[in-house]
Amino acid sequence: MTSTPPKNEMPMVSLVMINYNGHTRLGDLLDQSVGTLLETDYPSFEVVFLDNGSTDDSASYVAARFPNPRLKVIRSDANLHYASGVNRGLTDATGDVIGVLNNDLIFNPGWLKPLVVYLGNHPAVGVVSPTLLRDERTIDSLGVETNLLMVAWDRFSGEPSRESRPSEPFEVAAPPGAAFLFPRRILSMTNGSVMDDEYVVFHEDVDLGLRLFLMGFKTVIVPASAIIHKRGSSLGLMSPNKLYLIRRNGTRTGVKLLGSKSLFFVPIWFAATAYASYVYYAMSGDSGYLLVPFREGWSTVASFRSIWKKHVDFERLRSVSPRELPLSDTLIINVDRIGWIGRVGITFFNLVAGLTGLGRFKITRSQKYGLFGRYKRS
């Protein structure tokens, strides 16, 4: 059981919500998201609504629709994309605790307090997140897992909430990027940028969680807090460009965090991209997926010097060995069983992991991922 500070000792919280054309894209959902957020039952918080270069009237609409002293509407003249937009929004956050939120969330009044209390009582924790639900009965995310293939997925996505949702806080590899909180000291330790600006969008949450782990901080899901996430409302569930950014950024994360050992895995990561591209092409019929491996390869080669510099710079901050990373031994797939080609590939991958001293990250089991089914052509 965690103790609750007196009301007048609860820290100020800044909640940064990033928006791009939300009024047009989300319609009533944007009203629900901002409206229910402002109804949060917590004594001291502000909402920083960063309009990220929208071409619709989102900023003026939200300012007029919600004339609330807690709400600050900040306009960016250009679309900074998600990662840079978050970092821009953080410059206007004044709180001792800072939250990053998507604009497709629906909040209940009591969602914030359990997160702030847990964070205050556990100084070794760098990030806390609520349970994300698709609806009252179905889990959207219980945190993010990732493996050495740099494939990441939301834990228990699509599973029934009653059977799968734990009652006590637990550690995960990374927070769900849709909603997480951290103490202000994390902002200063990351030089004001909790997200890598070059990521644009996707996988920046995994990068953040793993970087903080290597800096000595844990990421924890607090089930006592739960909010609804209407996944895909802003950016869609999947597209060739989304897969490209996910895989490109995953490779960048691997190079930054593993350093010289990553050189053995880069070709394997490219192969994993090729497999994923084929799977999505087979399910959707969109030939754009077939170009994703080539786009990722070119981007990685062209930017490798910059990526490596980030690895060198991060080494000065790291206090935990990459061998201790909380990587999963699971392979997520779109079928019930791995075929023989997949088994050969995993055997080779595990051999490389062992030879590079990263044998504890071998893939030892597979799991069909329910979210795959939501991408199939109708």
Specify if 235 maps to a domain.
no
Q: What is the pLDDT of residue 234?
A: 54
Picking from 207, 229, 251, the residue at the C-terminal end of a domain is 229
Do 299 and 161 share a structural domain?
no
Do 193 and 101 share a structural domain?
yes
Picking from 163, 198, 229, the residue at the C-terminal end of a domain is 229
Torsion of CA 283, 349, 216, 209, to 10 degrees: -10
Do 260 and 193 share a structural domain?
no
- Amino acid identity, position 210: L
| Length of the chain counted residue by residue | 378
Do 223 and 249 share a structural domain?
no
Specify if 24 maps to a domain.
yes
Does the structure show a pLDDT above 80 at 109? yes
Do 217 and 135 share a structural domain?
yes
Whether 184 contacts 95, CB under 8 Å:
yes
Specify if 2 maps to a domain.
no
In sequence order, the 6+-apart residues with CB closer than 8 A to the CB of 1 are none
Q: What is the pLDDT of residue 339?
A: 80
Cα–Cα distance for residue pair 144/316, rounded to 1 Å: 26
Q: What is the pLDDT of residue 257?
A: 96
Specify if 358 maps to a domain.
yes
Q: How many distinct structural domains can be found in the chain?
A: 2
Do 198 and 53 share a structural domain?
yes
Do 203 and 153 share a structural domain?
yes
Measuring CA to CA, which residue among 168, 205, 212, 164 is closest to residue 187?
212
Do 216 and 82 share a structural domain?
yes
Band (pLDDT 50/70/90 cuts) for residue 335 is confident
Does the structure show a pLDDT above 70 at 236? no
Picking from 229, 262, 285, the residue at the C-terminal end of a domain is 229
Q: What is the pLDDT of residue 376?
A: 46
DSSP string, 77-108: SS--HHHHHHHHHHTT--SSEEEEE-SSEE--
Measuring CA to CA, which residue among 39, 47, 40, 36 is closest to residue 72?
47
Specify if 38 maps to a domain.
yes
Whether 83 contacts 196, CB under 8 Å:
yes
Helix spans in the chain (H):
22-26, 28-38, 58-65, 81-90, 112-121, 161-164, 184-189, 204-214, 240-258, 262-284, 292-315, 340-355
In sequence order, the 6+-apart residues with CB closer than 8 A to the CB of 215 are 126, 189, 317, 318, 319, 320
Q: Which domain holds residue 325?
A: 240-375
Do 186 and 46 share a structural domain?
yes
Q: What is the pLDDT of residue 5?
A: 54
Band (pLDDT 50/70/90 cuts) for residue 281 is very high
Q: Comparing 197 with 368, which gets the higher pLDDT?
A: 197
10-19, 82-91, 159-168, 233-242: least confident range: 233-242
Tokens standing for 96? 């001792």
Q: What is the pLDDT of residue 163?
A: 76
Q: Kind of pairing, strands 97-101 and 71-76?
A: unpaired
Q: What is the pLDDT of residue 127?
A: 98
Measuring CA to CA, which residue among 120, 164, 114 is closest to residue 143?
164
Do 244 and 225 share a structural domain?
no
CATH of the domain at 48: 3.90.550.10
Specify if 184 maps to a domain.
yes
- Amino acid identity, position 346: I
Does the structure show a pLDDT above 80 at 378? no
Do 154 and 199 share a structural domain?
yes
What is the Cα gyration radius of the chain?
Answer: 20
Range 17-22 average pLDDT: 96
Specify if 1 maps to a domain.
no
Do 124 and 60 share a structural domain?
yes
Specify if 156 maps to a domain.
yes
**Which secondary-structure segment (H or E) carries 133?**
strand 125-135
- Other Cβ atoms closer than 10 A to 326: 15
Cα–Cα distance for residue pair 61/63, rounded to 1 Å: 6
Q: What is the pLDDT of residue 367?
A: 84
For the chain, give the longest Cα–Cα distance: 62
The answer to pTM > 0.85 is: yes
